[in-house]
């Protein structure tokens, strides 16, 4: 560090765009400074290579935000909501995106810990995989680092969970389709090891048995597991059309786009021959051809709850260690219609 305190204050003030007096208040941990200004000064310290005063260490103002990938528009949507809210609280998000064969979640966590993050939000992470080891989450909790887990649930992790109601999503979709006469409805979802998929499958089977009168085994036979991607939707739709379905509910909007592609490749029309329902209501989905009927995740409410739970934990007043479940909303557009006349009873 510089031997001249005045020069150091001047450098920090210039870097942060504030007065030297403000820098002094931050360095001495005095009140009267907004969270955003305080964070600007702390960031300036880091950028200039100065050590933080001991009383300010561990308050990097950085928060880790770990998401699976950015190709599915729903994850950038979650990231945008949470980044905006974190900034309003004076925190800078560090976005960590996983890709196949790239940096793992555990490796990102080590990177974030090295940077002294104040907390981490995990969106659809390893906590959503029933086959994964959840010990690393407990290790973070034991070291006192606040974490929040979004869209996934695992017993034994002492942290708040924020989830969409997957069972309710399936009930909304199946109710909508049966109201238009559909009885032979298929479900295209991702790999069965993920908690949201397990819940969607169970919700779908329950709704189908209640609303169409078929057996649980028959309903289970109308579920096709594939990849959470356009290609996965194509493959699942190929299988389900072979089962004679007149409508397909999908586990993501990308899967729904893949299903529509396969339906058209078969020379069929959407929704005249086969109806399709997506899940997420990610950006631009309203502008597809046809505009997609989908089940909208409560992204804004869920992102807000996740950030608030994390901030509460950072401030020493942690949210209840429970799962907070948000109800989705059915958005009806043009990809669903009445059952074809040839299928009507």
pLDDT tens for each residue of 256-265: 999 999 999 9
Distance, in Å, from the CA atom of 207 to the CA atom of 225, rounded to the nearest integer, reads 18
pLDDT tens for each residue of 204-217: 999 999 999 999 99
The 10 Å Cβ neighbour count of residue 305 is 18
Question: Residue 6: its pLDDT value, please?
Answer: 54
Candidates 1.10.10.10, 1.10.1060.10, 1.10.260.40, 1.10.3470.10; CATH matching 5-56: 1.10.260.40
Say if domain 166-297+330-343 classifies as CATH 3.40.50.2300.
yes
Contact at 8 Å (CB) between 204 and 219?
Answer: yes
More confident residue, 314 or 109: 109
Residue 61 has pLDDT above 90, yes or no: no
More confident residue, 188 or 99: 188
Residue 18 has pLDDT above 90, yes or no: yes
pLDDT tens for each residue of 198-253: 999 999 999 999 999 999 999 999 999 999 999 999 999 999 999 999 999 999 99
Would you list the domain boundaries of the chain?
5-56, 62-164+298-327, 166-297+330-343
Q: What value does the mean pLDDT of the chain take?
A: 91
Tally of residues, the chain: 345
Residue 72 has pLDDT above 60, yes or no: yes
Residue 7 has pLDDT above 50, yes or no: yes
Strand-pair category, 293-296 with 329-331: antiparallel
pLDDT tens for each residue of 26-60: 888 777 788 778 878 888 887 888 876 655 545 56
Distance, in Å, from the CA atom of 63 to the CA atom of 244, rounded to the nearest integer, reads 49
Domain 62-164+298-327 and domain 166-297+330-343, same fold? Reply is yes
Per-residue pLDDT band for 275 (boundaries 50, 70, 90) equals: very high
Question: For helices 166-178 and 195-212, what crossing angle results, to 10°?
Answer: 30
More confident residue, 68 or 220: 220
Residue 107 has pLDDT above 90, yes or no: yes
Burial 311-320 (b: 16+ CB within 10 A, else e): bbbbeeebbe
Question: Residue 51: its pLDDT value, please?
Answer: 72
Per-residue pLDDT band for 321 (boundaries 50, 70, 90) equals: confident
Per-residue pLDDT band for 1 (boundaries 50, 70, 90) equals: very low
The SS3 assignment for 260 reads helix
Strands, sheet with 185-189, edge to edge from the N-terminal-most edge strand: 223-225, 185-189, 247-250, 275-280, 293-296, 329-331
Write down the pTM of the prediction: 0.83
Of 149, 116, 144, 151, the closest CA to residue 134 belongs to 149
Question: Residue 55: its pLDDT value, please?
Answer: 55
Mean pLDDT in residue range 181-198: 97
Q: Considering the chain, what percentage of its residues have pLDDT values greater than 90?
A: 72
Residue 2 has pLDDT above 60, yes or no: no
Contact at 8 Å (CB) between 277 and 322?
Answer: no
Q: What is the third-level CATH fold of 62-164+298-327?
A: Rossmann fold (3.40.50)
């Amino acid at each position: 560090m510089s031997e001249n305190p005045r020069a150091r204050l001047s450098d920090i003030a210039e870097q942060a765009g504030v007065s030297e007096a403000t820098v002094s208040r931050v360095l001495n941990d005095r009140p009267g400074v907004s969270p955003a200004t305080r964070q600007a000064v702390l960031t300036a310290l880091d950028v200039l290579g100065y050590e933080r005063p001991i009383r300010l260490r561990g308050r990097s103002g950085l928060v880790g935000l770990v998401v699976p990938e950015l190709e599915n528009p729903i994850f950038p949507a979650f990231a945008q909501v949470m980044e905006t809210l974190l900034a309003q609280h004076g925190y800078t998000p560090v976005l960590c995106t996983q890709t196949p064969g790239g940096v793992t979640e555990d490796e990102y966590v080590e990177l974030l810990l090295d940077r002294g993050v104040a907390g981490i939000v995990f969106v659809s992470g390893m906590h959503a995989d029933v086959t994964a080891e959840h010990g690393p989450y407990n290790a973070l909790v034991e070291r006192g680092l606040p974490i929040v887990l979004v869209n996934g649930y695992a017993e034994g992790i002492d942290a708040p969970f924020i989830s969409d109601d997957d069972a309710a999503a399936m009930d909304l979709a199946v109710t909508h389709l049966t109201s238009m006469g559909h009885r032979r409805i298929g479900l295209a979802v991702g790999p069965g090891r993920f908690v949201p998929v397990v819940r969607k499958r169970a919700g779908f089977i329950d709704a189908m048995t209640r609303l169409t009168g078929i057996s649980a085994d028959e309903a289970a036979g109308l579920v096709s597991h594939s990849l959470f991607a356009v290609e996965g939707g194509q493959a699942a739709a190929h299988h389900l059309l072979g089962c004679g379905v007149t409508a397909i509910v999908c586990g993501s909007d990308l899967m729904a786009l893949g299903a529509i592609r396969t339906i058209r490749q078969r020379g069929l029309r959407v929704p005249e021959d086969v109806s399709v329902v997506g899940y997420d209501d990610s950006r631009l989905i309203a502008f597809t051809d046809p505009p997609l009927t989908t089940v909208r995740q409560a992204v804004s409410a869920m992102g807000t709850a996740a950030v608030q739970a994390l901030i509460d934990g950072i401030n020493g007043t942690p949210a209840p260690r429970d799962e907070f479940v948000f109800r989705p909303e059915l958005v009806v557009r043009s990809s669903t219609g009445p059952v074809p006349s040839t299928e009507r009873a």
